[in-house]
Structure 1
Amino acid sequence: MLAHIIYLLSMVIIMLGVPHPTMENVSGTLITVGLIGLWRYSWAGANLARAAYYLNIAYPRRRARAAEAYAARGLTDHTFFLVTTYKIAPEISTRVYRSIFEAAYQAKGGASIVASIVDEADARLIRQVLASVAALHPSVRGKVALKIDKIAGTGKRDALATSLRSIARLNPGRNDIVIFVDGDSCVPIDVIDRSLPMFTDPAVGAVTTDEYSDTQGGRLFRDWFDLRFCQRHVMMSSMSLGERVLTLTGRMSIFRASLAMDSGFVDMVRSDFIDHWRLGRVHFLTGDDKSTWFWLLQRGYKMLYLPDLCTVSIETQPKPGFMDSATVLMTRWFGNMLRTNGRALALPASQIGYFTWWSILDQGISIWTTLAGPASILLSAIFISPWILPLYFAWVMLTRYVMCTIIMAFRGRSFPVSFPFLLYFSQVVGAFVKSFILFRLDRQKWTRQTTEKSSRSRVGFTQRFRTLSSSYMHCLALGWLILSVAYVGSII
């Protein structure tokens, strides 16, 4: 409480300390920032309102209808877990597989776990965990089956595709489900009973769940992940109202087995690509969750968010410093998003939903609207008055504090004073990272794998030209942005 009082008092003192004439001198810039803010906060308000309606009205009704339909059908469906493990600490793997086996033993229709591994030590650990969990359930022996796929360390996509073919050989029923789980994510114990009813609607292709971050790293890194998952909860709820979430999170998502066994689905998981007019054919190294999402989106299936199921994601800080860690992760996340969004926008809006289509478009527009505000402030500070900097800082403190208060109201808890600053960091630095990746869609790298695809890693004039052209186009776009905000704000 004391930290929040100091925060708010500091904001007021900074705002009152700005000389009054400054407001008149930079009125053009303030109007520009205000109009951009009006646009962005109107969009945020629409998503907040949709999320509130979904969580309090739409989802409870949908859950009740699904439970009633599932009970009326009177069947028990089988569940398959597909787990990928690569370079995960043994203590984390133990925790993850224990949660999976505990959930599997709760399945009324039985469960099969297919674990994709690279190291034989992981196989031994998995069998030990299964034995310890099975000993706690002696009355249901034989209900849970384990299959281990050992593959070469050629990447997560190969691991998923190989294990999907293993599941296909087990002949899943048309109402069975496949739960994709990352090797660092713990599933809720009731994940099967709570998710199966949602698939009574034949148009539902997949669902994803809420997430809680159990983050290992510095305080800022932990707070940043916590805030991101709170934002995710709001956005997923808003998008699920239109029955099309914007991603099927790779940490844990659930698919209709008959769709996941489709040869086209498996082929896209194994090898996905886009043809870019300047970069040529860009093969996806990362972003398997975006590939599965696009395959279902293209075919008109519903993809829902289940806010009453929570996956625990055990995150580790990839780099020693917060800035380096956040940048590495955002580069991977936003690269996956931007590589897929272009082809998603090519789909008819009437097919995927107008709100969904516009949300995908807005992910591109927001890159430039987010950068426009800071750009106009910096130009005004240089050419008109430096007093606009503390005024803008106070504005950022106020608006981000209000946004964090509203976002955290969906969680029903308070937040540390680091959240407003981390929110602004995610918005501005995230927008710059997006702008960087937008012109370099061929650059990809896993966090835990050394495998990398980049125009810089290949030799030849064509590749060097593409690298230079990417830098040129990125600088040109930023130049036009600066000129535009300078003109609109009457700075030049």
Structure 2
Amino acid sequence: MSGILSHAVYILVCLGIALSIPGGVLGAHGALVITLGAVGAWRYLWAATNFVRAQIYSRWAYPRWRGEAEQAYAQQESRAHAYFLVTSYKVEQAISMRVYRSVFAAAARSEGGATVVASVVDIADERLIRSIFGKFADVSGVKLIIDRIPGTGKRDALATALDTIAGELPSTRDIVLFVDGDTIVPVDIVARSAPFFTDRRIGALTTDEMSETTGSPLFRDWFSLRFNQRQMMMCSMALGRRVLTLTGRMSVIRADLATDKSFIDQVGSDFIDHWRLGRVNFLTGDDKSTWYWLLRHGFQMAYLPDVQSISMETQPRAGFIDSATTLMIRWFGNMLRTNGRAMALSPRQIGLFTWWSILDQRVSMWTTLAGPIAVVLTALFVDPAILPAYFAWVMATRYVSCWLLASFRGPFPITYPFLLYFGQILGSVIKSYVVFRIDRQKWTRQATSIGTSVGISGQARAMSSIYMHALALGWLITAVLLLSRSALNPLI
């Protein structure tokens, strides 16, 4: 089915469902409609705010900022030396070849010279990297250092590589590019990113991303949609000179900050002390550790919407839902482990909008679930006719949302509205699960995991997590019942 035809069918189905709603249904459930409308208005206002901020940043604020930064950089007598820190572990050889070719090409284009520090575990990776480096014609200004370490995790790899870079004695004008072993960097990344660091308030930046995704068509569309959403949110946050994460696939950090001992220590061994779960050591989420260190020390962060890296994504499980669940558990776990301590920082220190956005990460998981819970309770115990009204509303609002996202990327497949709603609901369910189990962590590619329930103390923590989760859901359902009490009289 062609794109135009599929969109036409979608709109007709949405209208058909809306027209099939029996007369007076919405009026008969006024309290429910008001409740859903109030929660919806909050969410849509927040989305609209981010959309407007993103447009302002990408169309006006950022081009002006880039122009000023490049002018200041052109006036400097010397150029930044670029340190590429690349971590590789169990990456397919074909992907590693593309990644390191892009890194060496970008390093060769660095006017101030470059050093590539490759952190590997397998001797085969070391041989491959040296072979690729040896075939480059013009790398006279590029130094290659290979750190071979035991397979003890990405955090150890990053800390060891940063220690190596610190030993090279970088200057205050130099930069460190953190690159995952499955990410292709732009050839002009140094020239495009270094000028922003002429402003000494800027501690780091991250860039736009696209993905080359293998797996089912649905999984590829889902990943593409997530990067579209990322572009909008990053632009919105960057208007306030902050972002909500320094993406681990590729980010750039001032070298003097990245080689600070406390920075390296936090990347290598990060943790929080939880009132119920005790000491929670971080296995994953190194990009959140770097972000939090910079946020806590008062540094600003930039986002470059016109510079794009390419990440190689593979479907981790056979099924789409299983794969999406696996990835979201890791992503949201990383977010929630750092979210609480970031929210404890003063809004004056990190900016009111940044602080409010961090708070919204906690609140949105519950507000997103409130609507579906109210509709399901009404349909089961009062009037099933409410379902088509809700379906029509979901189809219409998600379709409009996808068109707003299209202003950043262009036309979209008709799977996007369904995937958008799927991601919102399943994402909120997973967040509500993970927030009470932030001690449980597992790498997608590695077998390494921590937080499993072992021994009496582990079983006690697991039981307390179940209890707290059930209690929170109980309070949420109670709140929905009270807010929609006239529509749900049979239940209360």
TM-score class, shorter: over 0.9
Q: Is the 8 A contact 1:26 1:385 kept in 2?
A: no
The structure 2 residue matched to 1:344, chosen from 335, 342, 345, is 342
Aligned to 1:63: 66
Aligned-pair CA distance for 1:450: 0.7
Stretches of structure 2 lacking an aligned partner (at least 5 in a row):
none
Aligned to 1:243: 241
**Are 2:114 and 1:114 aligned?**
no
Aligned-pair CA distance for 1:384: 1.1
Stretches of structure 1 lacking an aligned partner (at least 5 in a row):
none
Aligned to 2:426: 429
SS at match of 1:450: coil
TM-score (normalised: structure 1): 0.97
Aligned to 2:260: 262
Aligned to 2:468: 473
The structure 2 residue matched to 1:382, chosen from 371, 376, 380, is 380
Aligned-pair CA distance for 1:455: 3.7
Name the % identity.
57
**Are 2:9 and 1:9 aligned?**
no
Query: What is the CA–CA distance in structure 1 between the aligned matches of 2:93 and 2:452, rounded to whole Å?
Result: 35
Aligned to 1:449: 446
1:256-313 CA-partner distances (Å, limit 9, x unpaired): 0000000000000000000000000000000000000000000000011011100101
Q: Which amino acid aligns with 1:471?
A: I
Query: What is the CA–CA distance in structure 1 between the aligned matches of 2:5 and 2:204, rounded to whole Å?
Result: 45
- Deviating 4+ runs (over 6 angstroms): none
TM-score (normalised: structure 2): 0.97
SS at match of 1:435: helix
Aligned to 2:353: 355
Q: Which amino acid aligns with 1:236?
A: M
Aligned-pair CA distance for 1:28: 1.7
1:290-338 CA-partner distances (Å, limit 9, x unpaired): 0000000000000110111001011000001000100010000000100
Aligned-pair CA distance for 1:483: 1.3
The structure 2 residue matched to 1:125, chosen from 115, 125, 128, is 128
SS at match of 2:75: helix
1:141-192 CA-partner distances (Å, limit 9, x unpaired): 4211111111111000000000000111111111100000000000001100
Q: Which amino acid aligns with 2:432?
A: S
How many matched pairs? 484
Query: What is the CA–CA distance in structure 2 between the aligned matches of 1:159 and 1:478, rounded to whole Å?
Result: 39
Aligned to 1:93: 96
Q: Is the 8 A contact 1:244 1:302 kept in 2?
A: yes
Query: What is the CA–CA distance in structure 2 between the aligned matches of 1:379 and 1:27, rounded to whole Å?
Result: 15
1:397-452 CA-partner distances (Å, limit 9, x unpaired): 000000000011122x1101100000001111000100000000101000011110
Aligned to 1:26: 29
1:360-384 CA-partner distances (Å, limit 9, x unpaired): 0000000100000100000000111
Aligned-pair CA distance for 1:195: 0.3
1:342-398 CA-partner distances (Å, limit 9, x unpaired): 111111110000000000000000010000010000000011111111211111100
Aligned to 1:185: 183
Aligned to 1:233: 231
Aligned to 1:486: 481
Aligned to 2:48: 45
Query: What is the CA–CA distance in structure 1 between the aligned matches of 2:10 and 2:450, rounded to whole Å?
Result: 44
Aligned to 1:464: 459
Q: Which amino acid aligns with 2:465?
A: S
Q: Which amino acid aligns with 2:66?
A: R
Aligned to 1:252: 250
Q: Is the 8 A contact 1:26 1:384 kept in 2?
A: no
Q: Is the 8 A contact 1:404 1:420 kept in 2?
A: yes
RMSD value, Cα: 0.8
Query: What is the CA–CA distance in structure 1 between the aligned matches of 2:30 and 2:388, rounded to whole Å?
Result: 15
